[in-house]
Amino acid sequence: MALELSEQEQFRRNSLQELFNLGINPYPAESYLINATTSEILTNFPADNTRYQEVSLAGRIMTRRIMGAASFVDIQDSAGRIQLYIKRDDICPGDEKTLYNTVFKRLMDIGDIIGVTGFVFNTQMGEISIHVKELKMLSKSVKPLPIVKEAEGQTFDAVTDPEFKYRQRYVDLIINPAVKDVFVKRTKVVNIIREFLNSQGALEVDTPVLQSIPGGATARPFITHHNALDIPLYLRIANELYLKRLIVGGFDWVYEFSRDFRNEGMDRTHNPEFTILEFYVAYRDYFWMMEQTEQMLQKIAVGLYGKTDVPFGDTTISFKAPFNRISIYDAIKEHTGIDVSAMDEAQLRIVCRQLELETDNTMGKGKLVDLLFGEKCEHHYIQPTFIIDYPVEMSPLTKKHRSKPGLVERFELMINGKEIANAYSELNDPIDQRERFEYQVKLMERGDNEAMFIDYDFLRALEYGMPPTAGIGIGIDRLVMLMTNQASIQDVLFFPQMRPEKKAIVNLVTDDDFIAQGIPAEWVPVIRKAGFKTPEEVKAANPNKLLNDLSGLRKKLKLEITSLKLEEVQAWCKD
């Protein structure tokens, strides 16, 4: 007997055995063919019709109401829930009532997956239900499912513990239907984007995740090692430089949904792995890209909700094109009253001090402007706004502005006070690009540990000539957060990163390890129940106290096993 299982888990394991004893396989191998889904029936079954007279469907038991010889069961499939009406004499037409009395009533539990056939009807209370003719166990659940009940729009005992939800997302998905909806919408967003891009002739591509130079962004990478080549490799922090190589290679429009990895802090908008859509289009500039972005986001909103207004928190975000545009210097002027557009590094540092922002000597002009914007402006932009024309120092991959010296042709799209997209007219002058990289190296020497590495192969590609190109990166996770009204990135990732649970050691120690120490097999479960996880812990115990505890447990649990003598216990505790 496995004492470490909870009472309910033990009951279910016993039921499992009883099913086997009755000749019923609780985990049958063969297909179970269905011809309907719950939601299909609920939407199509008209009150006065005789459709769906022979349906077959399958799902998980979510709740049961047993009234003697008749019962109501709610099952849930991938599409929704429906009520079953199960009558003893209908599923057991003869004298043999075991299927109902024993299998259904006693051996089936909430959480089990069953298949049923029957006909659809309306109950006296007017609920569309299935009158079951046949019932089959498809998968026995041996772990009790948290029970969430609902009535008149109110939910009772919903599991809200974030740790539970994120670690056991499979349970979260079963019991919280709204969670499923978020992820369905996530896929919809991705599909709408694909269609939007493909319909314009874009080509979806794959580029390396393992890179020997982590380029295209400034962030600390995850590092790993390739044994055969004996070189370090990095998980990509961006795929930008590879997509641009493909533009050099002659593709006019490429895109990739790129899983990127950054070895940095985690919070409600950062997960170590996340998804960015990047796309690059030859012969276009950042103005064109702003229009594309507006069109795309508007399409997503309309595709999900049929309108451009999307609720988020206590506000509504309008994705109706066009979006506002403001230069980063104007934004800073607007929110601080200070015109920094003509300032050099020293003057900027003074401004930052005046505004009580912390600076240090590793920060160049670009970082200081970034700091001012990030601290004083960013959070003001709730409605979609393009922040444009950044200083050249903070944009090493961006083309110099066609008419404004010291600036580059870049925009970031801010929504709800957060950056959603980052785009530029791409720098395609190889000489300029080399100089920009070299400036990055200087920053690194000054102590900026996130300045970019030089990718010489990328420079070589540019030297062959890259057409004028517009490029963008859009944070898909954050976009999905906006589109599904979720405050945390963890709620739009199926399996957000978590510290591992520490339970492994309990499972690694087998009963044999205890037996090897001279402990009788029948006492091993008791020892575990008493809290000893390893034989070493038993060895270290006080024999008198151990004997007392074990004998106490034996009595408490009414175990019919031979009692222990002190000498025996003393023997375990010695080597």
Partner RNA sequence: CUCUCGGUAGCUCAGCUGGUAGAGCAAUUGACUCUUAAUCAAUGGGUCACAGGUUCGAAUCCUGUCCGGGAGACCA
Residues 19-48 that bind RNA (CB under 7 A): none
Nearest to 254 by CA among 286, 288, 277, 287: 277
Report which secondary-structure segment, H or E, holds 75.
Answer: strand 70-76
412 touches RNA (CB under 7 A): yes
Closer Cβ to RNA, 248 or 326, answer by number: 326
| 499 is a contact residue toward RNA (CB under 7 A) | yes
Is 353 one of the binding residues for RNA (CB under 7 A)?
Answer: no
- If we measure between CA atoms, which residue out of 280, 275, 274 comes closest to residue 204? 280
Distances (CA, A) of 453 to 212, 401, 427, 458, 473: 11, 24, 16, 11, 20
| Binds RNA by CB under 7 A, chosen from 268, 539, 545, 565 | 268
Tell whether residue 151 is a contact of RNA (CB under 7 A): yes
Contact assessment for residue 259 and residue 267, using Cβ atoms and an 8 Å cutoff: no
Selected binder of RNA within 1, 22, 66, 571 (CB under 7 A): 66
Strand ranges for 416-547 from DSSP E: 418-425, 469-475
Cα distance between residue 255 and residue 250, in whole Å: 14
CA distance 45 to 339: 67
C-alpha atoms less than 13 angstroms from C-alpha of 42 in its C-beta half-sphere: 13
Is 503 a residue that touches RNA (CB under 7 A)?
no
Contact criterion met (CB below 8 Å) for 171 and 147: no
Distance CA 221, CA 233 (A): 10
* Site membership for RNA, residue 545 (CB under 7 A): no
Q: In the β-sheet with 231-235, what is the strand arrangement from edge to edge?
A: 210-211, 231-235, 223-226
CB of 430 to RNA, least distance (A): 24
Q: Which is nearer to RNA, 126 or 405 (CB)?
A: 126
Stretch that binds RNA, among 67-75, 277-285, 426-434, 516-524 (CB under 7 A): 67-75
566 binds RNA (CB under 7 A): no
Q: Which stretch binds RNA (CB under 7 A): 51-59, 79-87, 245-253, 290-298?
A: 79-87
Interface with RNA by CB under 7 A: which range of 102-110, 206-214, 332-340, 511-519?
Answer: 102-110
Instruction: Among 172, 294, 370, 389, indicate the residue that binds RNA (CB under 7 A).
Output: 370
Q: What's phi and psi for 379, nearest 5 deg?
A: -70, -10
The residue within the footprint of RNA, chosen from 94, 126, 201, 306 (CB under 7 A), is 126
Question: Which one of the spans 23-31, 123-131, 331-339, 431-439 is the region binding RNA (CB under 7 A)?
Answer: 123-131
Choosing from 117, 129, 258, 292, the residue that interacts with RNA (CB under 7 A) is 129
Nearer to RNA, 205 or 557 (CB): 557
The answer to whether 87 contacts RNA (rule: CB under 7 A) is yes
Tell me the window of 40-48, 150-158, 242-250, 286-294 that interacts with RNA (CB under 7 A): 150-158
Task: Please enumerate in sequence order all residues whose Cβ is within 8 A of that of 465, keeping only pairs 6 or more positions apart, or say none.
Answer: 248, 428
In 227-363, at which residue ranges do the beta strands (DSSP E only) sit? 231-235, 253-261, 273-282, 309-312, 315-318, 324-327
- 264 binds RNA, rule: CB under 7 A: yes
Nearest distance from C-beta of residue 283 to RNA, angstroms: 25
- Phi, psi values for residue 50, rounded to 5°: -115, 25
Phi, psi of 275 (to 5 degrees): -115, 130
Shortest distance, position 552 Cβ to RNA, whole Å: 11
Binding residue (CB under 7 A) for RNA from 416, 422, 484, 517: 422
At its nearest, how many Å lie between RNA and the CB of residue 141? Answer: 11
- Cβ closer to RNA: 253 or 323? 323
Nearer to RNA, 163 or 567 (CB): 163
CB of 505 to RNA, least distance (A): 11
Question: 358: Cβ–Cβ under 8 A, 6 or more apart, which residues?
Answer: 352
Q: Does 475 bind RNA (CB under 7 A)?
A: yes
Q: Which of 161, 344, 435, 445 binds RNA (CB under 7 A)?
A: 161
Q: What is the CA radius of gyration of the chain?
A: 32
Residue-wise DSSP of 120-151: EEE-TT--EEEEEEEEEEEE---SPPPP-EEE
Q: Site for RNA (CB under 7 A): which residue of 55, 60, 109, 280?
A: 109
Q: Considering the rule CB under 7 A, would residue 498 count as an interface residue with RNA?
A: yes
- Of 233 and 394, the one with the shorter C-beta distance to RNA is 394
* Min separation Cβ 11 and RNA, Å: 4
Q: Which phi-psi region, left, alpha or beta, contains residue 485 (left: φ > 0; alpha: ψ -120 to 50)?
A: left
What whole-number distance in Å separates Cα of residue 31 and Cα of residue 358?
65
Closer residue to RNA, CB minimum distance, 151 or 231: 151
Q: Is 121 in the site for RNA (CB under 7 A)?
A: yes
Position 567 contacts RNA (CB under 7 A): no
**Choice from 30, 230, 356, 501 touching RNA (CB under 7 A):** 501
Beta-bridged to residue 114, according to DSSP, are 59, 137
Q: Is 416 in the site for RNA (CB under 7 A)?
A: no
Please report the beta strands in 202-342, taking only residues with DSSP state E, as ranges in sequence order. 203-204, 210-211, 223-226, 231-235, 253-261, 273-282, 309-312, 315-318, 324-327
The answer to whether 281 and 470 have CB atoms below 8 angstroms apart is yes
If one counts every other C-beta atom within 10 angstroms of the C-beta of residue 82, the result is: 27
CA of residue 69 relative to chain centroid, distance = 44
Q: Is the peptide bond before 322 cis (omega within 30 degrees of 0)?
A: yes
- Report if residue 157 touches RNA, rule: CB under 7 A: yes
Give the interface size with RNA as a residue count (CB under 7 A): 75
Q: Does residue number 166 form part of the binding site for RNA (CB under 7 A)? A: yes
The whole-angstrom separation of Cα 406 and Cα 341 is 9
Both tokens of 200, joined, read 């314009």
Nearer to RNA, 282 or 479 (CB): 479
431 binds RNA (CB under 7 A): no
* 539 in contact with RNA (CB under 7 A): no
Q: How far is the CB of 255 from RNA (least distance, A)?
A: 18
For RNA, give the closer residue by CB, 11 or 196: 11
Question: x/- binding map, residues 278-317, to RNA, per CB under 7 A?
Answer: ----------------------------------------
Among 72, 119, 439, 453, binds RNA (CB under 7 A): 72
